Structure 1
Amino acid sequence: MRRLLTLLLLLPCAALSQGTATIQPQITVEAPTEDVIVGQSAMVRIKVLVPTFMPSPPVFPSLEQENLLVRLPERASGPVSESVSGETWSGVQRSYRVYPLVAGQIDLGIADMTVTFADPETNTPTQVSAQLSPITINAVVPEGAASLNPLIIATGFELDQEIEGATEMQAGDAITRRLTARITGTSPILVPELIPENQDTLLRSYPKEPRLTETEDRGTLSGQRTDEVVYLAQGGGQTQLPPVSIQWYNLTTNAVETVEVPGVDLALTAPKTDPLTTDKLIEYAFWAGLAAFVTWAFMRWGTPRFRQWKDARRQAFQASPEYALTQLRHALQAHDLSGTYSALEIWKLRCSDPQGYKALEEQLERIGAARYSSETIQVTSDWSAAISTLNGLKGAHQDRTQPLPPLNP
């Protein structure tokens, strides 16, 4: 059974002319009232009639939405004419084939369309924007197919397998698995992924994008899906490309059937290693002996020389004015008056031209006077002043015992 929804558009419209057109286009929508099986087609028709003629074709809605395939059949639009109130009205009818992809009520929404027709009095083109009433379709799953996941309902389903490459493989060899599903009675987009994801560490998989083709014959969709994966051997051992089994519901027999392809056993050989020959053993022994000799020679002669060089570097630094300046700073920070005087004298001896030490000596004299005075005097600030004076010391930091040679002897 089908219902006929007739919409008489009496709302104001936007007209291209200033005429007072009181006659509006008549739009009817025809949609199925019976249940539609998921993946099967249902016909929806929209018919537009006007009392005159249409200078330009009407703009029909697309009806496309999620979980719904919409196809326009061959000669989807055509002229029509009917008698309305004793007069002949002419117009256009658009047919849609819709295929619900999930079960449940599918609401096609409130669609808009635009109609342009000649005003009956002036023949001036008048444009009307009309809103269709909601269109709903109820999609169902046959009782026997309710447990299928994924849901495949068709009149025919086949699964073929192709293998390219040898099943006895060396590490680095490749083999290609190609599965093709051919389906009749519905769209191939309902066919799920055919090749399961690889979980084997002996193989590295490189899947390609699936290829889908679709055909239509008098409203009946058919097509195929091809999945292809290239496997690269990673090591040695026995493994298998797993079998594939898919259940589907046959609308012809009203029963669940199964298509399957067998698994593919693979024998993988680990990477070959070169045999250990006598020449290789001699070569390895030579390099091992050479490495041992170099290590022994370094320990025998290199280590003492390195220690001598390190000791010489340390002694040279300890004899430098920089080291003496460091010792002087440590003595000041420790408030060691005797150590400070000793370090200051050493620094003066090691600098070719010491400068600024007079101020430091004055600070030290005040500290000594305060320390040995019978009066209790706070000398902490004097030590801080001495450290500040030390920071301003300048001198030529070169050893007086090792002067630079003259440029022109």
Structure 2
Amino acid sequence: MTTPAFRPYRLLAALFCWLAAAGPAFSADPFARAALQSTGTLYVGQQILVDVDVLVPNYFLQPPQFPAIDLPGAIVTLDDGRALNLNETIDGTSYSGIRRTYMITPQSAGEFTLPPAVITFGYAAVPPQAARGQVTVPPLRFTIEAAPGSAGESPGVVAAKVGISQELDQEPAALKAGDTLVRTVSVRAEGLRAMMIPEPEFSAPRGVRLYRQDPVLSEETDRNGQAVAGLRKDVASYLFQDPGTYILPAVTLSWFDPASGTTQSATAPAVRVTVAAATTRSPAIAPPAHEPQPPPFDWLHPAVTGGGVLISALVLWAAANRLTRLQARWEERRSKERQSEPAFFRHVEQACRNGPDEAIARALDAWSRKAGVMPLESWLGRFADAGTQRIYQIRQRALYGPEEASSRSDAFLPGLKRARQLWLRQGAKAPGRREPALLPLNPTMR
């Protein structure tokens, strides 16, 4: 009997086939990408939108923490709108993604490079096991040019559209000496944050006093919470001391439109004010009256009155001091109750009864952080029954994964409450139980 010869090429071929089949599994790693949402030529002062996507295989277990970005020569803010969920298939692997948008306002012309930013998150690398993930935003380069001026002057802002309106609190032709006219000027700039709108220039004619209030800044958003336009409201009061005719100068704001490449302007028109003389009444002529003799001064009455006022003031002060202490204790107790674990769990119950899937996920995440039972899926594996764990996994896949099946179930909340009761009964002996702490200002994955 002869022994078959060893053929190494067969072993190499089998190893090559195994690596080819396992290739997608090895390459299924989280990654990040960045892209310019703003197109065309970019100018100084223009609000530039940069979309940053974080994609993971399977689904997220903890949302990504997008950090603040420091870009020299520019102002960078993270859009407060709702994040966009993504589902993509790349090289045969299903990915779940979350997109957030950074708003960059360059202050000077030149070349800019988006610095690398580290984003942390939790995801199901091998469902249902939780894994800690971390990606770095790739560098993104873009060029900024100076916006052309108009008639030798630089434009005020770079925006898609700017509008100015004004309101007066009364008719400007019906004032009298000593009256005050309140002028409210509102500016709306599309594609520009409110804090970037320049301060309108107010001036007063000679003989008129001008008083300005602090501006009111706000943002106009769409139904998804994305910023659409910046709003700025300025209020000025004009005091007219003397009669006459006055002209309040117009308020003008110029801006450069990058789409059309032209400089435009918006104006709140000048106001013509007519001030009449104040009317005075002449006193009636009457014979002088005899000056009455003053009665003798009674010292007893002021003394009694002053003593009563002093005693009343002391009583009121003592009552107010005690009331302030009681109110402070009550506020402290209410604050502790609002920050307690049962209060956070009541939010979970309310969200499970009548809230959408996103609200349930946020409430569960906040309660698990407060109670110190993170990651929640591992905690459910120790205290919840199999049905509750299965409903939670289905809910996570429906919220962050590509599955379209409904994640609503009335059996999840009862199962979660039973698990919490078991956890509370075991007390300090419960595995994984720790004292909750306040969330850090900039939370990181642990």
Q: How does the TM-score come out when normalised to structure 2?
A: 0.46
More helix by share: 2
Greater gyration radius: 1
Asked which structure has the greater RCO (Cα within 8 Å, sep 6+), the reply is 2
Q: How does the TM-score come out when normalised to structure 1?
A: 0.50
